[in-house]
Amino acid sequence: MEEDEFFGEKTFQRYCAEFIKHSQQIGDGWEWRTSKDSSDGYMCKTHFQVKNGTVVSHPGTSAHEQTCLPMEEALELPLDDFEVPETMAATDVIKYEYHVLYSCSYQVPVLYFRASFLDGRPLALKDVWEGVHDCYKTRLLQGPWGTITQQEHPILGQPFCVLHPCKTDEFMTPVLKNSRKINGNVNYITSWLSVVGPVVGLNLPLSYARAASQGE
């Protein structure tokens, strides 16, 4: 199917559905949520990161995660099962929420995210940056994503940090054009999230790359 680098809400939802399908297969935790008022929806994921580098072993960790987690501190833990071990303070754990929404004005996906302590206190933007690994910091400063700002989540109405979408098509277009020549089944969301995600602490397991190219 001939697709532009821009796409409509329906195509966005289709890409998200494919993405979530793979996420479910590997236990990566992404979900789809719809807004109460309309058929608009978004994709979201929550994960917990241990600030001080302590690794908490979790019995449910997916055995078929073939890749080592790029950020040693980052743990992908299901929301319900997470318990703070006694040795850790509540301030050692940061909860990250990532939401992927569709921007009608830019016709591209947009990444909203926020970080908070377990007691619900939000992290200041500067504290979020401290948690970003050094190599991502450089990428953050030099990347073509415009700015990171705080904005109201279009559906939830709560403040989130946002990677501005104005440059998205600029860095997505050449890659998509090239990959669609070779393989028509490219999932825009997978590709885009693989690029922008690491900047804000979100890493996609490599199996998404295989799933995307197989057109699951």
Partner 1 sequence: MAEEPESALQLPPSTAADGEGPTEVSPETATPEPPSSAAVSPGTEEPAGDTKKKIDILLKAVGDTPIMKTKKWAVERTRTIQGLIDFIKKFLKLVASEQLFIYVNQSFAPSPDQEVGTLYECFGSDGKLVLHYCKSQAWG
Q: Which helix (H) or strand (E) holds 210?
A: helix 207-214
Cβ distance to partner 1 smaller for residue 41 or 165: 165
Per-residue binding letters, 136-155, with partner 1 (x by CB under 8 A): x--x--xxxxxx--------
- The Cα–Cα gap between 47 and 201 comes to 10
Clarify whether 161 is annotated catalytic: no
Cβ distance to partner 1 smaller for residue 22 or 114: 22
The torsion angles phi and psi of 92, rounded to 5 degrees, stand at -80, -15
Residue 118 interacts with partner 1 (CB under 8 A): yes or no: no
Cβ distance to partner 1 smaller for residue 154 or 198: 198
Q: Is 178 exposed, middle or buried (0-12, 13-18, 19+ CB in 10 A)?
A: exposed
In a 13 Å sphere around the CA of 152, the CA atoms on its Cβ side amount to 4
In angstroms, give the least distance from the CB of 115 to partner 1. Answer: 19
Per-residue binding letters, 41-80, with partner 1 (x by CB under 8 A): -------------------------xxx-xx---------
DSSP H helix total and E strand total for the chain = 6, 7
Instruction: Read off the amino acid at residue 195.
Output: V
Q: Give residues in contact with partner 1 (CB under 8 A).
A: 66-68, 70-71, 133-136, 139, 142-147, 167, 170-171, 173-179, 182-183, 186, 190-191, 194-195, 198, 203-204, 206, 208-210, 212-213
